[in-house]
Structure 1
Amino acid sequence: MVQPATTGAPLDMYVMLIGGTLMLLMMACGIVIFMVLYQRRMLEHRIRIQEAEAKHQRELFFSAMDAIEQERKRLARDLHDEVGASLSVMRLMVNELPTRPQITTVGYKQLIDNIIENVRRISNDLLPQGLEEFGLPYAIESLCEKVAAVAGIDINLTIVIPEQPGNTQSLAVYRLLQELLNNAVKHAEATELTLSIRKENTFLYIKYADNGRGFDFVEAYQKRSLGLKNIEARTRLLNGQTRFVTSPGAGLRVDIEIPDL
């Protein structure tokens, strides 16, 4: 009699079971290795981002410090070259009075008027005229009028600020707008610009656009353009965000969003 082959079936089952287990172990190992490599790559990427952000923050900090230092140097220069020189001339004129009594007071009055005007201008640079007394909108309007008169730029200004920010914040916003307009006068070669300042809820939105010559933003930023860095640094000091849109021959557009103002 021929016996049925019953021993082969359990053997095949054991082989399949062991093979399946090995395949599951290999898949599990593959998944673990993939997750480890993925987490490592993500960690390296996060570290690179943090290093880039830290470098960017350092650049903005030094840019803000450089802007402050440049402002101090300019004020020191104005005091020395204009006020200091005028006072020195007045001292010489006073020393000559005993020997030249015929000197009229016209020259003295003109010199004193010049000193008063210079001191008033320097004082206005330190604290914009009317900012504390009449508020930020008044100070911005005065600034735009001066820029338009001096540079011959047609400025289309819109201000919607229902509630007056604090003095410190108002001064910071004023300096930011001053930097924008200085950039237009010095570099943009613009004849027209639009400036909109709107406060909605707790956010202040600043939109700037000019018809100037524009520039390659990436190239200018890599060259560490002081104007761009100053605008961005002053915005960061207010915890805000800045977006530049420009290209050669297409003017410049700047969108600024400042929270909690």
Structure 2
Amino acid sequence: MAQSSTVGASVDMYVMIIGGTIMLFLLASGIIIFMVLYQRRMLEHKMSVQEAETKHQQELFYGTLEAIEGERKRLARDLHDEVGASLSVMRLLVGEMTARKVPEMETAGSRYKELIDNTIDNVRRISNDLLPQGLEEFGLAYAIEGLCEKILAVSDIDIQLNVGNLSNISNTINLAAYRLLQELLNNAVKHAEASEIRIDVRKENSVLLLNYADNGKGFDFTQAYQKRSLGLKNIETRTKVLNGTTKFETSPNAGLKVRIEIPLPN
């Protein structure tokens, strides 16, 4: 009878040990599952916050861009309609002065006409820079061609331009792409000392591709980036806010290559 009690006690102990082990295993599994789910929820929350921040930044960028471009349009129209018209009237008045055949007035009038003509040209140039000519009416391809023609008119740079089908692109992205190329071309004229530029713009798999290359003097990209070069930051920031990517390839005396990819909404 005593032996039977001992066996029963041993069985109860084994049952307790096994039951305790199972309980500890279940408890440990529950803690692990809880931690995994908690970390997953925290990661999802972090991603949702980042997405909201990105969306907010995009909305801010688009709103700021629209406000800036709206102000540029107003200034461009004011320059063209008011300042340009006033200068044209002044030129007519000076022309009447020179028509009187008074030597002193003819000499002064010629100088005034030259000054007014230069001012009119500058007003037109500033107006066109503020408001990309033909961008809204005829699209990005037309505006890019006009931009390249301006560069050709003021420099000896040979530009090879290849533009694909750029239809059905929003005005916001068209304008951003135009400003990106404008920044690159201005840099080529002012700093790069380039004699040749190649530009390729096209749509590919719902992505707008901008490929730029010049044979200028290039630069140390790491050093320029650390110095927070305004041109580089402008290009990178504009592209990033559009969920795009920018790749720079350059080194001293090796020119500059830039590849920009901007996703297009369906």
Q: What is the TM-score normalised by the length of structure 2?
A: 0.64
The 1:148–1:160 alpha-carbon spacing in structure 2 relative to 1, beyond 3 Å, is same
Q: Provide the residue aligned with 2:235 in structure 1.
A: 231
Identity score, percent: 44
Q: Provide the residue aligned with 1:254 in structure 2.
A: 259
Give the Cα separation in 2 of the matches to 1:159 and 1:24.
70
Q: Check conservation: 1:132, 1:167, Cα contact below 8 A.
A: yes
- Comparing 43-52 with 123-132, greater Cα deviation is found at 43-52
Q: Check conservation: 1:162, 1:199, Cα contact below 8 A.
A: yes
Q: Check conservation: 2:183, 2:231, Cα contact below 8 A.
A: yes
Give the Cα separation in 2 of the matches to 1:5 and 1:247.
90
The 1:215–1:166 alpha-carbon spacing in structure 2 relative to 1, beyond 3 Å, is closer
Q: Provide the residue aligned with 2:148 in structure 1.
A: 144
Higher relative contact order (Cα pairs below 8 Å, separated by 6+ residues): 1
Give the Cα separation in 1 of the matches to 2:168 and 2:181.
16
152, 155, 161: which one pairs with 1:157? Answer: 161
Q: Check conservation: 2:160, 2:198, Cα contact below 8 A.
A: yes
The 1:243–1:8 alpha-carbon spacing in structure 2 relative to 1, beyond 3 Å, is farther
Deviations 1:16-70 (A, max 9, x none): 22212222222233233334444555527964994698499769968x969x59x
* Shift, 1:158, TM fit: 1.5
The 1:6–1:189 alpha-carbon spacing in structure 2 relative to 1, beyond 3 Å, is farther
Structure 1 segment 30-179 matched on structure 2, within 5 A: 30-39=28-37, 41=39, 43=42, 47=46, 50=49, 54=53, 68=68, 102-104=104-106, 105-132=109-136, 134-148=138-152, 150=154, 152-161=156-165, 163=167, 165=169, 169-179=173-183
5+ residue gaps in structure 1? none
The aligned amino acid for 1:234 is R
Q: Check conservation: 1:197, 1:204, Cα contact below 8 A.
A: yes
Give the Cα separation in 2 of the matches to 1:164 and 1:180.
24
5+ residue gaps in structure 2? none
Give the secondary-structure state (helix, strand or coil) at the position aligned to 1:155: strand
* Shift, 1:134, TM fit: 4.4
More helix by share: 2
The 1:154–1:49 alpha-carbon spacing in structure 2 relative to 1, beyond 3 Å, is farther
The aligned amino acid for 1:136 is L
Q: Check conservation: 2:140, 2:166, Cα contact below 8 A.
A: no
Q: Check conservation: 2:209, 2:259, Cα contact below 8 A.
A: no
* Shift, 1:203, TM fit: 3.7
Q: Is 1:242 paired with 2:245?
A: yes
Give the Cα separation in 2 of the matches to 1:214 and 1:60.
34
Q: What is the TM-score normalised by the length of structure 1?
A: 0.65
The 1:166–1:65 alpha-carbon spacing in structure 2 relative to 1, beyond 3 Å, is closer
Q: Provide the residue aligned with 1:28 in structure 2.
A: 26
Query: How many residue pairs are counted as aligned between the two chains?
Result: 240
Q: Provide the residue aligned with 2:202 in structure 1.
A: 198
Give the secondary-structure state (helix, strand or coil) at the position aligned to 1:103: helix
Give the Cα separation in 2 of the matches to 1:232 and 1:25.
56
* Shift, 1:146, TM fit: 3.1
Q: Check conservation: 1:194, 1:209, Cα contact below 8 A.
A: yes
The 1:15–1:199 alpha-carbon spacing in structure 2 relative to 1, beyond 3 Å, is same
The aligned amino acid for 2:124 is R
Give the Cα separation in 2 of the matches to 1:65 and 1:253.
25
Q: Provide the residue aligned with 2:219 in structure 1.
A: 213
